Amino acid sequence: AQTVTQSQPEMSVQEAETVTLSCTYDTSESDYYLFWYKQPPSRQMILVIRQEAYKQQNATENRFSVNFQKAAKSFSLKISDSQLGDAAMYFCAYRSADFNTDKLIFGTGTRLQVFP
Amino acid sequence: GAVVSQHPSWVICKSGTSVKIECRSLDFQATTMFWYRQFPKQSLMLMATSNEGSKATYEQGVEKDKFLINHASLTLSTLTVTSAHPEDSSFYICSARGPRAGQISYNEQFFGPGTRLTVL
């Protein structure tokens, strides 16, 4: 069974600075997807970034980028130029590429605080 | 595009009553919907996977007779909490996935805003 681990329950960053959130996972599959979701106080889940395991290039979405290390099963999220609106819970998630078993498996989350 | 709604956004009920939560995909057809439960300060736990026109698949430990799921159309799935008790109080979130081919990204789930259930 696949597992996702987020070892940082809480992180904080100064506005405009950079912060990295860690995520590791365990799987025996070779093809899968990894996601970072943001859950602000409204509790609406928002997709931040997605990485396909077959792609070596790290995904980037504006200020958000990932460091995907497939051999190490590591998938960290870097937030550059942090903004007050980035404060939220961040969940790392795993999904099999098998369309028939594609449920999302979430980590326990990291609460990010952004200080002005 | 890819909007998912839930209704109601919050509900308070008495112990022993049943509550129905609706999940709708507003601008796409969802062959599969997922129901999650989230306790305060915890992660999302998948309760069941709902496929249109067939019975839902429940995760281990989830009582299917207590959490009834119906996915009668490509845009609507419902979760009914039967004989609710205070321990069922939680935040329930649904997500919807489009079909394999066409439309929007087939491998992405789109989340509803959630429903807060409080059982007195």
Q: How confident is the model at residue B101 (pLDDT cuts 50, 70, 90)?
A: low
pLDDT 10s digits, A19-61 = 999 999 999 999 899 999 999 999 999 999 999 999 889 999 9
Q: Where are the beta strands (DSSP E) in chain B?
A: 4-7, 10-13, 19-25, 32-38, 44-51, 57-58, 67-73, 76-81, 90-97, 109-111, 115-119
* Set of chain A residues whose Cβ sits within 8 Å of the Cβ of B97: 102
Q: What is the pLDDT of residue B52?
A: 84
B69 touches chain A (CB under 8 A): no
Distance (Å) from the C-alpha of residue A105 to the closest C-alpha of chain B?
8
Q: What is the pLDDT of residue B103?
A: 47
pLDDT 10s digits, B5-15 = 999 999 999 99
Residues 49-68 of A with CB under 8 A from B: 50
The CA distance from B58 to B45, in Å, is 12
The amino acid present at A60, given as its one-letter code, is T
Burial label for A14, CB within 10 Å (0-12, 13-18, 19+), is exposed
The chain-wide mean pLDDT, for chain A, equals 94
A104-106 vs A88-96, strand pairing mode: antiparallel
Q: How confident is the model at residue B108 (pLDDT cuts 50, 70, 90)?
A: confident
pLDDT 10s digits, B23-55 = 999 988 888 899 999 998 889 999 999 988 888
Q: What is the pLDDT of residue A4?
A: 97
**Cβ <8 Å between A43 and B100:** no
SS3 content of chain A, % helix, strand, coil (to 5): 5, 55, 40
pLDDT 10s digits, A61-75 = 999 999 999 999 999
> Which residues are CB-contacts of A52 (< 8 A; sequence separation ≥ 6)?
A33
Of all residues in chain A, the one with the smallest CA distance to B105 is: A50
Q: What is the pLDDT of residue B2?
A: 82
| pLDDT mean over B83-111 | 80
Q: Which value, in Å, is the radius of gyration of the alpha carbons in chain B?
A: 14
Q: Which of A77, A71, A70, A79 is nearest to A107 (CA)?
A: A77
Q: Is the confidence at residue B18, as pLDDT, over 70?
A: yes
Q: What is the pLDDT of residue B23?
A: 96
B9 touches chain A (CB under 8 A): no
The CA distance from A75 to B39, in Å, is 25
Percent of chain B with pLDDT over 70: 91
Question: Is the model more confident about B105 or about B28?
Answer: B28
